[in-house]
Amino acid sequence: MSTHKTVIKIALFLCLAPAVVLGFSYGRVEFLTYTHKSEFYIPSKNFLRLGHLNYIKVFDYHRNRAKVLAIATYPASLSGVSFKYRTRSFLYFVRTNGAWRVDYEKVIWSGMGSADGYTFPLYW
């Protein structure tokens, strides 16, 4: 009977552990975004080579630095056919004299195939 209980405990752990990890990860990003999103407003006209900013998620936030995921849509054309593609980029901000500025950008994923990384937690 103790073997049966052990198997049940292991099965419950294997089922619940991913849910706890994902819940904590998404919860943390959503909380940081809700709390600090307004500090990182990025006008579309100034964003990453003429793309349209869809949304941002704050992945990491400290007193003088932050890591923000930006999802943008870009117009493109191939053989006369117009279409839009998305990119995901991490924008690394630093605070200088009380104002946030983008220190550098790292493209994580691009619909055109120039980058094929991922984020955790996943955002589309």
Cα–Cα distance between 78 and 59 in angstroms, integer? 34
For residues 57-86, give the mean pLDDT: 85
Report the SS3 class of residue 59: strand
| Better-scored residue on pLDDT, 31 or 18 | 31
> Which pLDDT score, from 0 to 100, does residue 60 have?
93
Calpha distance 28→51 (Å, rounded): 27
Distance CA 69, CA 40 (A): 11
Q: What pLDDT does residue 50 have? A: 55
- Using 50, 70 and 90 to split pLDDT, how confident is the model at 85? confident
- Domains of the chain (ranges plus CATH)? 2-110 (3.10.450)
Nearest to 95 by CA among 56, 46, 42, 39: 39
Residue 76 predicted with pLDDT over 80: no
Model confidence at 89, pLDDT cuts 50, 70, 90, reads confident
